[in-house]
Structure 1
Amino acid sequence: MKQFGNVYLIAGISIIGGGLFGFDISSMSAIIAGQGYLCYFNSGDVPCTGPSSSVQGGITASMAGGSWLASLFSGMLSDSLGRKKPIMIGALIWILGCVIVSAAQNIPMLIVGRIINGFCVGICSAQVPVYISEIAPPTKRGRLVGAQQWAITWGILIMFYISYGCSFIEGPSAFRIPWALQMIPAIVLFIGMMFLPESPRWLASKDRWEECERVLVLVHGHGDPNSPWVARQFQEIKEWLEIERQSKQTSYFTLFTPRYINRTHIGLFTQIWSQLTGMNVMMYYITYVFRMAGLSGNSLLISSSIQYVINVAMTVPALIWIDRIGRRPTLLVGSSLMATWLIINAALLGSLGESVSGGIDGIKEAQVKVTGAASKAVIACSYLFVASYAPTWGPVSWIYPPELFPNQLRGKAVAFTTSGNWAFNFALGYFVPPAFETITWKTYIVFAVFCVAMTIHVYFMFPETAGKPLEEVNAMFEDSHGVKYIGTPAWKTKNYYSTSARMEHGEDVEKKLSNDYLPERKEYVEPGKGA
């Protein structure tokens, strides 16, 4: 079967797996406020009031629960079957889940279908970044892996308008049709992956060297077997694979050994912090927030859709400049801005909000109402929050973890770090509806504190990885013999985009990387061992 080597085509097809998660987010946010959903899945004594806060939290969180479990196992699938096949398996699982969800007769059946959908999202969200990061050139790796976040934003936007259009249909069809249509991108993903090459680094790990070289020639050499960049990449993969095999440690427990614990902690918290910004929560439950700002009916849904448009548009700058700017500055600016908008919203709702007993229009989660200028300010800050997340933590949370780990651990490591994302997605999806009902505007304060904490954490602990081949990122943490180093402090690490770009285009290919290219390092000496 013919395979295509254009890296943008490869990324464009594989990131559809991320788009499936986006479909889920907006289908829930648009549908949970509709009468068809509220009447059909009503769990209280009052007709058409929908599930209780705790039940709705469970429905929303069930997808994340399935994603958490599947993301953990996806590492073993990825190591044994390759990077492509697990993504294709995920697409088939998504189709099955959509059949069950769209045919749901009651809340338990809906939850089961969403858990199955979560299996797909868990596999794809963990392994698509691994696949792209292993096949992309270093100067394009950030934008190509970050495109997964762009696919998520497109999924959110497209599905929201499909759900909005279907909201005018009476009865259960209002939610059954959009949930059934979610199958279409999964079918495209499954078929498209057939025409893409396997990861060259996975092929190398299985000693399939001829196939590895063919993929490098196809993708990086543009069909030229004499490309100096291909020769350099192929040689580096061979050298580092030999080093990695000396450790003979490839289990999940290896991630917690002294050699890897720092990388594991950084990768895991990248995913955890991306959830604790509160972004996905705001996406799921934006209709509650805008109800508090005085919106209802069509104006509520249309105003909610604006933030999805902002999300798509503001992700583009990251795809263009993320490799030039680097990972650290992007994360630091994003968390600082998000903390600002969250604090302003909390202040507006806390000082100018009017308590509404029983909720607004029967929506129990909307316990505070603001009007006039304060209402417009809450909406504006919500939009600014999205505009701050979209080009920063959104894409970087997918880009950064795969860059931290060596080849033989990357599949499992990214699976583990991504499981942190889904564990907190589950917890927050379950927590937020009761939080809006009980502590109301103080929910914003909780997430603002998290944003401040992650800013401090990133500044002191997260090194820069932009512009470096994956093998060179590994060298930031240890030498060629696996000896541990105390490297340059995270806040002094640099982006080597320009150097990598020159080498990728054939310049300095024969030059051995010197200590000028890698961060300054000092040999690690265990306490009590002496120098």
Structure 2
Amino acid sequence: MLQRSRTGTWMPAWVPQSTVTLAFCLMFCSMVQSATGGYDGSMLNGLNILPSYTDYFNLNAATTGLNTASVFIGGALGPIFSGIVSDRYGRRPAIFWGSVITLLGVLLQTAAQNIAMFVIARIILGFGAALSGIAGGVYLSETFPSRWRAWGVGLLNDFYYVGALIAAGITLGTGQWNSTWAWRLPSLLQGVFSLLCIIILPFIPESPRWLVHEGFFDEARIAVAQTNSNGDISDPISIVIYKEIVDTLDWEKRECRTMSPMEMIKTPVARKRLLIGMSPGPFSCIAGNIIASYYLGSELDTAGITNTLSQLKANVVLNVWCLGCCLAGTQLAARWGRKSTALLSQSLLIACLFIIGGLSKMYADNPDGASQSLVYGDVAVMFLFQGFYSIAWTPLLYLYPPEVMNYSIRANGLAVSAFMLNALALVFVFIMPIGLANIGWKMYMVNGSWDIVILGLIAYYWVETKGRTLEEIDALFEGEKHSSVPDVELVRTGKADFDINALERNEVEMESTKMKEN
């Protein structure tokens, strides 16, 4: 059964009354968002192996890097606008327009006649994907109940590998075609995910945090009930969550916290939250996965796997492995914690990079005399590396930043994280084929050294956010929670009691006061 739900925006919603059904709709929105990025990376991995693509554009190392990295130009421009758009016009409209722009980029990319057209198309694609991805990350973190947030928001990047797997299978199938459709068809099918996202948007509510901030209290209360208690606005859990949101946002307004991007650097606490919250973007980019994410063919060349068909098959297997690892990592983040999962993953990455570098050097020193065990051992560790990367960085990339940052800086802060990710990715994706061609195995050693520094920064600066609502995380930074109600999990488990009638009276008085002030 669907219920018409007011959203405070031009986009209406018909929301399922069942919380579980709605959670699956939200997860589906999350999945298709991330699948676009995964599809893009894996598709370019496949295209960079296909002669029909490389010969059509007459690519060399520099133009290969440009064609591949151009999506990150748009990805770096998108965050400049995404925070402002999602704060001003609503989370769902921002996701919608981002998906529309992504579709436009996909169509132009499919029709590309030369490098310039291909690059422009990928800039537009990257812009749209960044706009919808950032708005989606903020929206899902603010809408999912805390007990499901790790899975709900973690899937926003986990399904990167579903998109990647689909692209790997498609490029494997079209790779034998002797026409430009060997690469045009995979490009065209990239738009399916944005189309699915547009289809699901009318069936999910607007963010209750955004609704409260904009003064739509009744709509916000209904949205909280829809996502937590099957639409029952008198449910104790929904009442506590709603009260936390109202109290915390009221406190932010009384403290003159604005939605301006300058708010991110206004106070020491804001700067701390920004730096910690934005760190997953650059940390995940520097980790070293860009080599296998976009240049698997070149990476396998360094290990002695040079056959095109073998490389395409390896691309498929790699994405299946990574999907399993990131789902396991999401469970770890939910049960074990965000920081602990990141420390485990980062430690394993460091070990793998130095092993890959050593084995690749052994192969480079004597490629003709290299044993099969050396070749396959190197490939095995490359696969382990991607899996270990997926354990933490895939789910945490969009899960951790919006948890750390409070409402007034959340959208702009996640935009900064995405900007840093895309800016660094633009550089690394462009220089990686050049670096692999010139210094080969030493690239792995360089990445391993960076990762040691990242490990230390995570251990010292990150905070644990597991098991808390977004409002309860304030206590880790501000020193106190800005609401008088007990923590949600304490109420859920029966460890805390409160007077529902008193809360109801308090809410009526607050809303009456606000109406008089306005």
Residues 107 and 371 of structure 1: CA distance in aligned 2, closer, same or farther (over 3 Å): farther
- Say whether the 8 Å CA contact 1:293–1:369 is kept in structure 2: no
- Alignment counterpart, residue 28 of structure 2, candidates 12, 17, 22: 12
Alignment of 1:27 with 2:39, yes or no, is no
Deviation string for 1:458-481 (max 9, x for gaps)?
111101111111111112111469
Could you tell me whether the CA contact under 8 Å between 1:292 and 1:370 is conserved in 2? no
SS class of match (1:155): helix
Q: Aligned residue for 1:381?
A: 381
Partner residue in 1 for 2:238? 230
How does 1:140-179 map onto structure 2 within 5 Å? 140-179=148-187
SS at match of 2:269: coil
1:340 aligned residue: 351
How many residues of Structure 1 are paired with residues of Structure 2 in the alignment? 477
**CA shift digits 1:25-78 (9 cap, x unpaired):** 011000111111021010xxxxxxxx1211111111110110111022100000
Letter paired with 1:134: E
Correspondence 1:64-463 to 2 at 5 A:
64-248=72-256, 249-257=258-266, 258-295=268-305, 296-354=307-365, 371-463=371-463
Residue 504 of structure 2 corresponds to: none
Distance 1:328 1:26 in 2: 28
State the SS of the aligned residue for 1:273.
helix
Cα shift at 1:505: 5.3
Instruction: Tell me: CA distance 1:370–1:150, structure 2 relative to 1, closer, same or farther (3 Å).
Output: farther
Report the TM-score, using the length of structure 1 for normalisation: 0.86
Distance (Å, rounded) in 2 between the aligned partners of 1:35 and 1:438: 22
Return the letter of the residue paired with 2:34. G
How far does residue 369 in structure 1 lie from its aligned partner after superposition? Answer: 9.8
What's the counterpart of residue 3 of structure 1?
15
Task: Give 1:36's aligned amino acid.
Answer: S
SS in 2 for 1:391: helix
Separation in structure 1 between the aligned mates of residue 490 and residue 478 of structure 2, nearest angstrom: 25
Shift of 1:372: 2.0
Cα offset for 1:291? 2.0
Q: 1:283, 1:371 → 2: CA distance? A: 26
CA contact (8 A) 1:254 1:260 kept: yes
Deviations 1:267-309 (A, max 9, x none): 2222100111111332111111112222212112112221111
Change beyond 3 A, Cα 1:445–1:180? same
Alpha-carbon shift at residue 322 of structure 1 (Å):
1.7
Asked whether 1:40 is paired with 2:51, we answer: no
Question: Do the aligned partners of residues 306 and 158 (structure 1) sit closer, same or farther apart at CA in structure 2, a change above 3 Å counting?
Answer: same
CA contact (8 A) 1:102 1:179 kept: yes
Structure 1 counterpart of 2:333, one-letter code: I
Distance in 1 (alpha carbons) for counterparts of 2:136 and 2:290: 19
Runs of 4+ in 1 over 3 A off after TM superposition: 368-371, 479-482, 499-502, 504-507
Partner deviation per Cα, 1:334-368 (whole Å, 9 max, x = no partner)? 01001111100111122342478xxxxxxxxxxx9
CA distance in 1, matches of 2:33, 2:363: 42
The 8 Å contact of residues 228 and 506 in structure 1, kept in 2 or not, is answered as no
Instruction: Give the superposition deviation at 1:133.
Output: 0.7
Aligned residue in 2 for 1:516: none
Name structure 1 gaps, 5 residues minimum. 43-50, 357-367, 483-498, 513-531
Partner of 2:468: 468
Q: Which amino acid aligns with 1:3?
A: V
* 8 Å Cα contact 2:46/2:168 also seen in 1: yes
Q: Distance in 2 between matches of 1:468 and 1:369?
A: 56
Residue 85 of structure 1 aligns to a residue whose secondary structure is helix
Cα deviation digits, residues 483-506 of structure 1 (max 9, x gap): xxxxxxxxxxxxxxxx85453356
Q: Which amino acid aligns with 2:157?
A: Q
SS at match of 1:260: helix
Aligned to 1:510: 498
Asked if structure 2 preserves the Cα contact closer than 8 Å seen for 1:229 and 1:505, the reply is: no
Partner secondary structure for residue 113 of structure 2: coil
Letter of the structure 1 residue corresponding to residue 467 of structure 2? G
> Partner letter of residue 39 of structure 1?
D
Helix, strand or coil at the partner of 2:238 = helix
Give the structure 2 partner of residue 494 of structure 1. none
* 1: CA distance, partners of 2:128 / 2:495: 42
CA distance in 1, matches of 2:370, 2:336: 39
CA distance in structure 2 between the aligned counterparts of 1:9 and 1:457, rounded to whole angstroms: 36
Tell me, yes or no, if the aligned pair for 1:229 and 1:506 is still in contact at 8 Å: no
Aligned partner of 1:16: which letter? V
| Alpha-carbon spacing, 1:501–1:238, altered in 2? closer, same or farther (3 Å) | closer
CA pair 53-251 structure 1, distance change in 2 beyond 3 A: same
Query: Of the candidates 57, 63, 70, which is equivalent to residue 62 of structure 1?
Result: 70
The secondary structure found in structure 2 opposite 1:203 is helix
The amino acid across from 1:185 in the alignment is F
Report the secondary structure of 2:280's partner residue. helix
Query: SS of 2:463's equivalent?
Result: coil
Moved more, 218-227 or 375-384: 218-227
> Hey, what's the Cα distance between the residues in 2 that align with 1:288 and 1:133?
37
CA RMSD between the two structures: 2.0
Distance across 2 between alignment mates of 1:33 and 1:134: 41
In structure 2, distance between residues paired with 1:434 and 1:173: 28
Q: Distance in 2 between matches of 1:443 and 1:210?
A: 56
How far apart, in 2, do the equivalents of 1:434 and 1:369 lie?
A: 26
